[in-house]
Amino acid sequence: MAELVFFTGTMDCGKSTLALQMDHTHSTRGRAGLLFTKHDRSGEAVLSSRLGLTKSALEVGDDLDFWDFVTAQVTTGRKVDYLICDEAQFYTPDQVEQLARLVDEMGVDVFAFGITADFRTELFPGSRRLIELADRTQQLQVQALCWCGKAATVNARVVDGVMVVEGEQVVVGDVAGPDGTTPLVEYEMLCRRHYMRRMNASAARAQALSPDVLPFDLDLCPVPSPPRSPGG
């Protein structure tokens, strides 16, 4: 029975690696698949893992109709057993519905990979529809960690070193601005507590070094006595 599965987790938890592994596993058993991605950080029409593996893929534009595309392929004699859909948070809800239809009416397995929520902790529209429609939503096993050591659950956006909670929903990560310089937009995975306190790693370091927050318990931190005057 074909399935629509949504593999999810924070950024940097191994989703694209798993996407490439699943493609490998299925294709080496003679199954025919198509790979799709959208706004991969390595560029257009490529599915890349931080572990270094990359594979060419079809870039998903907002006007792509998965149903029309795949049924056209099948009509011309191409076998399509499964789809690998990376960065699926960026797909439109309509596209997610087309994927579900391919599962139900064409028996095509759809393996979708993506983050659920943006840097404001709001669901991406594509991810919301996937959660609503998937046969299974599976959390990846390798969790990213917050700087404090706890499991990270939130993708925070950091612009020029400072965590922000306002801005465009879609900004591909780890890129300099259009002029190639600033602002540098990065993402940092945080636990909820530190996200709520707006405390990413550099803010925590700055606070630890600040004299304003040095401990003020006299037993733990005695005030040094003034120097004794000679002969006094």
Ligand X SMILES: Nc1ncnc2c1ncn2[C@@H]1O[C@H](COP(=O)(O)OP(=O)(O)O)[C@@H](O)[C@H]1O
Ligand Y SMILES: Cc1cn([C@H]2C[C@H](O)[C@@H](COP(=O)(O)O)O2)c(=O)[nH]c1=O
Is residue 156 within 8 A of residue 125, CB to CB? The reply is no
* Interaction residues for ligand X, span 38-57 (CB under 6 A): 49-51
190 binds, among ligand Y, ligand X, none (CB under 5 to 8 A by kind): none
Positive or negative torsion for Cα 31, 34, 39, 41: positive
Listed residue (2, 44, 16, 41) closest to 114, CA to CA: 16
Closer CB to ligand Y, 101 or 157, in the complex: 157
What distance in Å separates the CA atoms of residue 21 and residue 47, rounded to the nearest whole number?
Answer: 12
**Which x/- pattern, by CB under 6 A, does the window 178-197 give for ligand Y?**
---------x----------
Q: Please state, in angstroms and as integers, the Cα–Cα distance from residue 218 to each residue in 207, 222, 227, 228, following that order.
A: 21, 5, 19, 21
Q: Shortest gap between Cβ of 89 and ligand Y (angstroms)?
A: 7
According to CB under 6 A, which one of 93, 125, 173, 183 is a site residue for ligand Y? 173
Kindly give the interhelix angle for 93-106 and 66-75, rounded to the nearest 10 degrees: 40
Residue 107's CB is within 10 A of a number of other CB atoms, namely 11
What distance in Å separates the CA atoms of residue 83 and residue 99, rounded to the nearest whole number?
Answer: 9
According to CB under 6 A, which one of 4, 11, 83, 158 is a site residue for ligand X? 11
118 binds, among ligand Y, ligand X, none (CB under 5 to 8 A by kind): ligand Y
85 binds, among ligand Y, ligand X, none (CB under 5 to 8 A by kind): none
Q: Establish if 127 lies at the interface with ligand X (CB under 6 A).
A: no
DSSP track, 88-154 = GGGS-HHHHHHHHHHHHHH--EEEEEE-SB-TTSPBPHHHHHHHHH-SEEEE-SS--B-TTSSBP-E
Q: Shortest gap between Cβ of 169 and ligand X (angstroms)?
A: 17
According to CB under 6 A, which one of 13, 83, 108, 133 is a site residue for ligand X? 13
* Interaction residues for ligand Y, span 21-80 (CB under 6 A): 39, 41
Residues with a known catalytic role: 87
Closer CB to ligand Y, 16 or 98, in the complex: 16
According to CB under 6 A, which one of 5, 7, 12, 158 is a site residue for ligand X? 12
Residues 188-198 as b/e (b if ≥16 CB within 10 A, e otherwise) read: bbbbeebbeee
Q: Which stretch binds ligand Y (CB under 6 A): 7-15, 62-70, 91-99, 211-219?
A: 7-15
Tell me which residues touch ligand Y (CB under 6 A). 11-12, 15-16, 39, 41, 115, 118-119, 155, 157, 169-173, 187
Name the site residues for ligand X (rule: CB under 6 A).
11-17, 49-51, 142
